[in-house]
Amino acid sequence: MDHEAMLYEKQDGSLTQCFLCAHNCLIKPGKYGFCEMRQNISGDLITYAYGEVIARDIDPIEKKTMYHFLPATKTASIAAQGNNFKCTYCQSLESSLHGEHNGEIAGTPLTPEAVVRHAKRNGCKSITYTYTEPTIFFEYAFDIARMASRRNLKNIFVTNGYMTTPALDTIAPFLDACNVDLKSFRDDFYRKVCSAKLQPVLDSIAHMRKLGLWLEISTVIIPEQNDSEEEIKDIARFIAGISEDIPWHVNRFYPDYNAMDVQPTSLHALERAQQIGREAGLKYVYIGNALVASNTLCPNCNTLLIKREGDTVVENNIHNSSCPSCNHEIAGVWGQEIAVHQPVGSNATE
């Protein structure tokens, strides 16, 4: 449905200036912003990414690549259409990239109240805004998050980090955690592969930490594109410079979209990235999207704290947010410790 956008200003000549993401689009009457989901209608900025859900699931929170935030709990994952990147290796092509749509959006109408009820009925501890880019359905996410907070649900963005500081400041009172996809540490990569720029992502990561949001970072390691040892070191040093407690997920690339000729990431490259992260001082570096262990170990004494099999927690030894062996405090948002997951399947209730 159409809905007036937040974070814009009217300019002379019926232009609108959007301040939602770092593209900062100046939009002519009748035209769309870069995301193709916000349109200037007679000087008013209208979003079409409100109230139309294109994906909805009940997931283990680990599937959102959140390993230090309420482990072994369920999260309600939702998405509306749209993105502000146009990545050549996009793995959510149908929901992210599209042409001008004349206000017609595929999806199932769902009010913010219905999203919150869905999460509560299915025993979720959180709602995750994911699959596409939650910044683009910001108004919808904002209204859901406000209601969810009042119902003791946490809110999580899985994001490319291309939002503005005003956008983060606006939603921060109701947002609890973010997983940011830091795709590269080279501006030319962002420009060529994503049609974006690097610095706004780095600024968002730093600002999220300043706001007190729980933060985890993911990087898909793409052969011959962002996998040089120098670049991996740059990413690791940047994250460690903000906080050595930030978990970093180095994930395997699989070919998709316009990158079908690129080989999947080797396990050796992932293990080397993990080693580089640890050498930079990062306490928690995980290999993802590969058939290897992704357990959490105490950075002080190496005790096994959380054992995972895929997205399932099978053992959780953290006690009072600390290692049971040496009492070292383990960074994260643990809530009430839960030993193992309850099954998450297709029996979600409406």
DSSP assignment of 78-100: EE-S--S---TT-SSHHHH----
What is the per-residue pLDDT for 256?
63
Would you state the structure tokens that stand for residue 134, as one six-digit string? 């939650």
| pTM metric for this prediction | 0.92
Query: What are the 10-residue block averages of pLDDT along the chain, 350 residues in total?
Result: 94 95 98 96 96 96 97 97 80 47 72 98 98 97 98 98 98 98 97 96 98 98 95 98 98 70 88 98 96 95 97 95 97 70 46
Q: Between the CA of residue 16 and those of 10, 39, 49, what are the distances in Å?
A: 5, 9, 18
Task: Please name which of 105, 95, 86 lies closest in space to residue 46, comparing C-alpha atoms.
Answer: 105
Looking at the DSSP assignment, which residues form a beta bridge with residue 309? 312
- The whole-angstrom separation of Cα 290 and Cα 98 is 30
What is the per-residue pLDDT for 346?
38
The tally of CA atoms less than 13 A away on the side-chain side of residue 262 is: 21
What is the per-residue pLDDT for 1?
78
- Which helix (H) or strand (E) element contains residue 72? none
What is the per-residue pLDDT for 97?
43
Task: Please name which of 264, 282, 261 lies closest in space to residue 273, comparing C-alpha atoms.
Answer: 282
